[in-house]
Amino acid sequence: MKKIHIIGLGLLGGSFGLGARLKFPELIITGTDSNPQNLKDALTLGIITEAKETPDKDTDLVILATPADTLGKILIDTLNQVGENTLVFDVGSTKSKLCAMMSDHPKRKQYLAAHPIAGTEYSGPKAAMADLLNRKVLIICELEKTDLHLKEKAYQLFDALNVKLRFMDPEEHDRHLAFVSHLSHISSFMLGETVLQKMADEKNIFDMAGSGFASTVRLAKSSPAMWAPIFTENKENILSALDGYISNLSAFRDKIANDDSKGLFEEMAEINKIRDILELGK
Amino acid sequence: MKKIHIIGLGLLGGSFGLGARLKFPELIITGTDSNPQNLKDALTLGIITEAKETPDKDTDLVILATPADTLGKILIDTLNQVGENTLVFDVGSTKSKLCAMMSDHPKRKQYLAAHPIAGTEYSGPKAAMADLLNRKVLIICELEKTDLHLKEKAYQLFDALNVKLRFMDPEEHDRHLAFVSHLSHISSFMLGETVLQKMADEKNIFDMAGSGFASTVRLAKSSPAMWAPIFTENKENILSALDGYISNLSAFRDKIANDDSKGLFEEMAEINKIRDILELGK
């Protein structure tokens, strides 16, 4: 592997660049970003070795790390630009639409649908970290549709970055992620909004916020440019998750209204089981 | 200060004990817990130096650290047991009911209404830490109703533990805490419940959970024995917070259903302001 190209030099694209440089010091890393400041920062930070609008024909790997709703067009354009020995993978948080769009594409075998479960509430090249991917799960969808030999190029990078590979179909991926990632972000944003609204009347409310609030509201600092497209791209699954969440909240609300201490206790004790399940996942 | 007594030897009561021992090695710390195992653990862990059902008459400070709905009765009983040079303070998460109940009590000046904003999702004496209170906010309500000289005993301990004191009235306290603490716990519990329900149909869903989910669901590991009483004790304020939260969630849901990308982006960008506010609070 001699040359990779990264489109989108934010937190995730930037972390792939920094990680790849660390593991393969000789690698040529070209890249681009629609935001000129990001491109400049990526060069300064050493995320890429050269700014380049489009990948060279002999690029081994192209990584697409732009917002979810832009990936379809960029993927098609990129496949038209690269040679036949290039593998293109995206790192988007939704997979069904992209995979469906690609199902009959003549260059389908040069595409790998990937999603690393890695990130922070920060965004942009300055938020990138060489070890962001270390020991994180990376999900691959429709593995069998990608060329066997080209796939090796991605595996070489994934192994070097020490990710844990998982495989599933795109619909399953989007359904699961709606619950264990997208819903968390919405609950956090709405928590932040509710408290900000209250703060309009009550001063210094944040003085009293402890680590519990900081933890649950952390994701409300996340990038709207990244998340708005995810919410619309994975609409059906997210609506199902949200409806379940709102319905649980309403039922819990009624238990509080009715002073149903026993019901509240029992419901929370049942939810406490998540302790063991989260431990197992470690 | 020679002698303190702690009723309720869990996370918070235990941390007061460990912290006090560290700062005042000569201190006699007696204490009790309705759970015999907790009492045993507290002795083993050095949280208390002696198990004692009721405080001695010459105890300087009594700390009440039991669930919110039990504090009223224990406070009255304790005030009847102690001498006139003892100060009693509670560390409960709700303050209005207690302060109202105490307003005409003949020993009101021996009581201090306190609430340290400190804790973790774990509970019991084994979760206690000597530095849990370090640099945490401790709210005092109705400061003026406590005897000037007795108050000094509490200040001596608070200063040694390095807490940051804040003062407000009990109604304001309960109103604020509903938003910046109690609501976070409910949103986290309900998130955990929603994902557990989904898991009944979908296996391995937690494999895909990243640090964002872990962060938002952390509080769902919290003790039901502590939180069920808080929710009912602070019912009116929590219902108001919850109703605002559910209404925000429903409006956000509709924006997703209507593919209102611009609206979602703008709403989240507005909520991002919480970044700066949270930074200010540091």
A154-203 residue pLDDT tens: 999 999 999 999 999 999 999 999 999 999 999 999 999 999 998 877 76
Gap between the Cα atoms of B113 and B89, Å rounded: 6
The CA radius of gyration of chain A, in Å to the nearest whole number, is 21
- DSSP code, position A66: S
SS3 call for A51 = strand
Q: Is B97 on the interface with A (CB under 8 A)?
A: no
Q: What is the pLDDT along chain B (282 residues), one digit of tens a residue?
A: 999 999 999 999 999 999 999 999 999 999 999 999 999 999 999 999 999 999 999 999 999 999 999 999 999 999 999 999 999 999 999 999 999 999 999 999 999 999 999 988 899 999 999 999 999 999 999 999 999 999 999 999 999 999 999 999 999 999 999 999 999 999 999 999 999 998 877 767 777 788 889 899 999 999 999 999 999 999 999 999 999 999 999 999 999 999 999 999 999 999 999 888 877 655
Domain spans of chain A?
Answer: 3-168, 172-280
Q: At residue A13, does pLDDT exceed 90? A: yes
Q: Is A180 on the interface with B (CB under 8 A)?
A: yes
Yes or no, beta carbons of B199 and A277 under 8 Å apart: yes
In this prediction, residue B268 carries a pLDDT of 96
Give pLDDT tens digits for A59-114: 999 999 999 999 999 999 999 999 999 999 999 999 999 999 999 999 999 999 99
Residues from chain B that touch A236, judged by Cβ atoms under 8 A, are none
Q: Is A213 on the interface with B (CB under 8 A)?
A: yes
- Give the best residue of B184, B273, B275 to mutate against chain A (max A CB count within 10 A): B184
- Give the best residue of A213, A232, A233 to mutate against chain B (max B CB count within 10 A): A213
Yes or no, beta carbons of A208 and B256 under 8 Å apart: no
In this prediction, residue A111 carries a pLDDT of 98
Q: Which fold has domain B172-280?
A: 6-phosphogluconate dehydrogenase C-terminal fold (1.10.3660)
Give the CATH class of B3-168.
alpha beta
Give one DSSP letter per residue of B148-180, joined into a string.
HHHHHHHHHHHHHHT-EEEEE-HHHHHHHHIII
| CA atoms within 13 Å, Cβ hemisphere of A82 | 25
As given in the structure block, the two tokens for residue B16 are 């007061």
Dihedral, CA of residue B116, residue B119, residue B123 and residue B127, to nearest 10? -110
Gap between the Cα atoms of B54 and B40, Å rounded: 16
Q: How many CB atoms lie within 10 A of CB B212?
A: 21
Interface predicted TM-score (ipTM) = 0.89
Which of A119, A192, A250 is closest, CB to CB, to B271?
A192
Residue ranges with strand state E in A120-163: 137-141
> How large is the angle between the packed helices A183-199 and A235-257, nearest 10 degrees?
50
Cα B8 → chain centroid: 13
Gap between the Cα atoms of B117 and B95, Å rounded: 13
Residues from chain A that touch B119, judged by Cβ atoms under 8 A, are 210-212
